[in-house]
Structure 1
Amino acid sequence: MQKIILVAGARPNFVKIAPLWRAFSKYENVETVLVHTGQHYDDTMSRVFFEDLGLPQPQYNLDVRSGTHAKQTAAIMSGFDDVIAQVNPDDVVVTGDVNSTFACAIVAVKLGVRTSHIEAGLRSFDRSMPEEINRIATDAISDLLFVSEKSGMQNLKKEGVADEKVHFVGNVMIDSMAFAQPSIENSGVLTDLELENQVYALVTIHRPSNVDDFERFKNVVDWLFELSRQITLIFPMHPRSLSQFNKLMKEKAPHSDPGSRLRIIPPQRYVDFQRLLKSAKFVITDSGGLQEESTWLGVPCVTLRKNTERPVTIEKGTNILAGENLVMANNAVQDCLNRKVHTGELPDLWDGLAARRIAKILVRR
């Protein structure tokens, strides 16, 4: 039996490992072991994702929870070292760019276990982002690199990575979206939130560049309140953002403008969030994955970041990079409201079959 460990730690990882688990499960000579590092541990950030994506409960949960980057990474490395000793795997597969990705990759590589990085080669070229450091480091040490868009191929070539290590396979996140479409259509979230037949936009803001600087976050929230006088805004608020939002609301009386339609809701399970996204007029975000998901659905996306590691979503998709300039962001939103944006096209190999391609490469014959 070929033993393959799939690592997940944070919400985006679950979406990416689900199609891999299904693809590997079709091979009789493969034993797939799921490891949850516990980097995200709230039910709406973790457990319900396993349910929505058809994943079994992980065989191992390291339960590392929150902490500084150093402490969290160290705790994951220590726990994962014990897992490898028990499982003795042939392969370790990591996805994305969170601390769990790099921590588990470096442990596996040092123990001589073949290590694969899914979503390799993505670069924002902004080293102030912790995710960028994780991407670069994980790509540098991994044995096999599976790329979701052609910019990843170009970046790895510029970095001197050998061609035989790199495989352009498409986007596993799209595999999950395609798989979950029936459940997404059956979600009752629009009814629950009284949004059926309503026009609204979806908001997700959680990155340090928009949230940790209190003045910047205040400006973003003030803009959202103003924008919500034109269109209902649904904001499933990440814990990082909620903490700052609560501080902001203590500093001044809660917004009492009767024309404001900014609705703060808890983080949503996967199928409910995807239903909200699918029916939105547009989305405002700083998320990487949401740039991809909105492109696949043809939903206009305004990204509040100076850069993106997913340039194909701009070149071919629906993504508009607004930078940190809220005037520019507002202009992009007005274009969305006035239907002056295009619906984009699908990037190459975003066809729901990426995990199958990866399995054909990884599984021994």
Structure 2
Amino acid sequence: MKSNVLVCVVGARPNFMKMAPIIKALKAVGQPIVPYLVHTGQHYDQAMKDTFFQQLGIPEPDRDLGVGSGSHAVQTANTMLRFEPVLDEVSPFAVLVVGDVNSTIACGLVAVKKSIPLIHVEAGLRSFDRDMPEEINRILTDQISDLLFTTERGALHNLEREGIDEGRVCFVGNVMIDTLLANCQQAVTPDLTLATYGSSLAIKEEGYALLTLHRPSNVDDPDTLVRLIKTVGEISKRLPVIFPVHPRTQQKIAHAGLLNEFSTERVSLLPPVSYLEMLGLMRAARVVLTDSGGLQEETTALGVPCVTLRENTERPITVTDGTNTIVGTDAEKIKACVHEILDSGGKRGRIPEYWDGNAATRIVERLLQRYF
């Protein structure tokens, strides 16, 4: 008898936002698809994991692999070793993975080597920068997937150029935006009294810029990190900055001796914040400075100007249609872009096609058509 179990994999925080609406849509239709949620533990902050699961309404995972940290090779290998017995036990009809983290490619490889169809949500995105580990994960996962769901129509061109047949590709929209739209009303503003520095009075009077930094290309290179942090200090003279600091980024800032750069009431350092807190911060920001792919999409959906501190993006629709501007890490370009936004209001943008809160429903409809 054919299995009706679909193994759904999450590994890091962005995966939670992508998987939450899919699980909800699967449960809404009931039989014949039964989701079996596997958390690899690639994101190993237990408190933050619990917060995301609770806020997004994701059920407790059926299996937590507890992989934890390590190099890319160690993390990928450990995920594969711990995931294979799950498939032997559950015998699913398919494995569904989201995004581009190590868990995505690791679990995908195990599935296809066991002749289990692989489904990739958020397929076809390309930065064309192979120095990014995520780019390698994206390319390889798409190559081995049986069914590929895309967030923007342009992704199909990337996939066809790589030899992937159009019949395996389905444009459904963006599940991240499903989650954002479902949770906007619950968004909250973090308690700024938790800030290391910063004046909540200045923020209330002037508004603020929201900053996030976590990519190795920005935080692992001391010269780049120093340049970015000093640039943020310059920007804060005109507009207060709120900076929820990723633990790894905080270690790099401390190691580079840059903490004194934040000894000002114009910059508020926060500990990592929950999804609903980050959503609240984004929604109310005058401008967002980030190296995060997810925030590029979310700011476009919210209509908030975004300045991306990278030389490229795998989400070009946020630039062509949305509110995103790519500036790289050059200090003068960053400051000029922020000042232009503050003077003119920034790019207005528009909501991309199918970023309407129904992407997960379209995914489930296609799953039923293809496999049942």
**TM-score normalized by structure 1?**
0.95
Say whether residues 1:57 and 2:60 are aligned partners. yes
- Report the alpha carbon displacement of residue 119 of structure 1 after superposing the two structures with TM: 0.3
Measured in 1, the distance between the counterparts of 2:325 and 2:208 equals 18
Tell me if the contact between 2:210 and 2:242 (Cα under 8 Å) persists in the aligned partners. yes
Structure 2 residue aligned with 1:255: 261
Tell me if the contact between 1:66 and 1:72 (Cα under 8 Å) persists in the aligned partners. yes
Measured in 2, the distance between the counterparts of 1:188 and 1:322 equals 28
Out of 8, 11, 15, the position equivalent to 2:10 is 8
**Residue by residue, what CA displacement relative to the aligned partner does 1:213-237 show, whole Å, maximum 9, x if unpaired?**
0111011111111211111111111
Measured in 2, the distance between the counterparts of 1:339 and 1:312 equals 22
- Report the alpha carbon displacement of residue 82 of structure 1 after superposing the two structures with TM: 1.1
Out of 120, 124, 129, the position equivalent to 2:123 is 120
Structure 2 residue aligned with 1:338: 343
- Report the alpha carbon displacement of residue 248 of structure 1 after superposing the two structures with TM: 2.5
Q: For the structure 1 residues 88 and 154, does the alpha-carbon distance in structure 2 shift closer, same or farther, using more than 3 Å as the test?
A: same
- Report the alpha carbon displacement of residue 334 of structure 1 after superposing the two structures with TM: 0.6
Say whether residues 1:46 and 2:49 are aligned partners. yes
**Structure 1 residues without counterparts, runs of 5 or longer:** none
**Residue by residue, what CA displacement relative to the aligned partner does 1:152-184 show, whole Å, maximum 9, x if unpaired?**
111011112111100000000000001112211
Structure 2 residue aligned with 1:158: 161
- Report the alpha carbon displacement of residue 340 of structure 1 after superposing the two structures with TM: 4.4
Out of 277, 299, 305, the position equivalent to 1:272 is 277
Structure 1 residue aligned with 2:357: 352
Tell me if the contact between 1:190 and 1:276 (Cα under 8 Å) persists in the aligned partners. no
Structure 2 residue aligned with 1:230: 238
- Report the alpha carbon displacement of residue 282 of structure 1 after superposing the two structures with TM: 0.5
Q: Which amino acid aligns with 2:219?
A: V
Q: Secondary structure of the residue that 2:36 maps to in structure 1?
A: strand
Measured in 2, the distance between the counterparts of 1:218 and 1:44 equals 30
Structure 1 residue aligned with 2:209: 201
- Report the alpha carbon displacement of residue 361 of structure 1 after superposing the two structures with TM: 0.8
Say whether residues 1:102 and 2:105 are aligned partners. yes
- Report the alpha carbon displacement of residue 255 of structure 1 after superposing the two structures with TM: 3.5
Tell me if the contact between 2:230 and 2:261 (Cα under 8 Å) persists in the aligned partners. no
Measured in 2, the distance between the counterparts of 1:239 and 1:253 equals 14
Q: Secondary structure of the residue that 1:307 maps to in structure 2?
A: coil
Q: Secondary structure of the residue that 1:338 maps to in structure 2?
A: helix
Measured in 1, the distance between the counterparts of 2:242 and 2:189 equals 16
Tell me if the contact between 1:174 and 1:352 (Cα under 8 Å) persists in the aligned partners. yes
**Structure 2 residues without counterparts, runs of 5 or longer:** 195-199
Tell me if the contact between 2:95 and 2:116 (Cα under 8 Å) persists in the aligned partners. yes
Measured in 1, the distance between the counterparts of 2:223 and 2:193 equals 34
Moved more, 20-29 or 267-276: 20-29
Measured in 1, the distance between the counterparts of 2:262 and 2:248 equals 24
Structure 2 residue aligned with 1:87: 90
Q: For the structure 1 residues 216 and 348, does the alpha-carbon distance in structure 2 shift closer, same or farther, using more than 3 Å as the test?
A: same
**Residue by residue, what CA displacement relative to the aligned partner does 1:6-35 show, whole Å, maximum 9, x if unpaired?**
100001000000000001112231211110
Task: Quote the sequence identity (%).
Answer: 46
Q: Secondary structure of the residue that 2:237 maps to in structure 1?
A: coil
**Structural RMSD (CA):** 1.6
- Report the alpha carbon displacement of residue 196 of structure 1 after superposing the two structures with TM: 4.9
Measured in 1, the distance between the counterparts of 2:330 and 2:367 equals 44
Structure 2 residue aligned with 1:24: 26
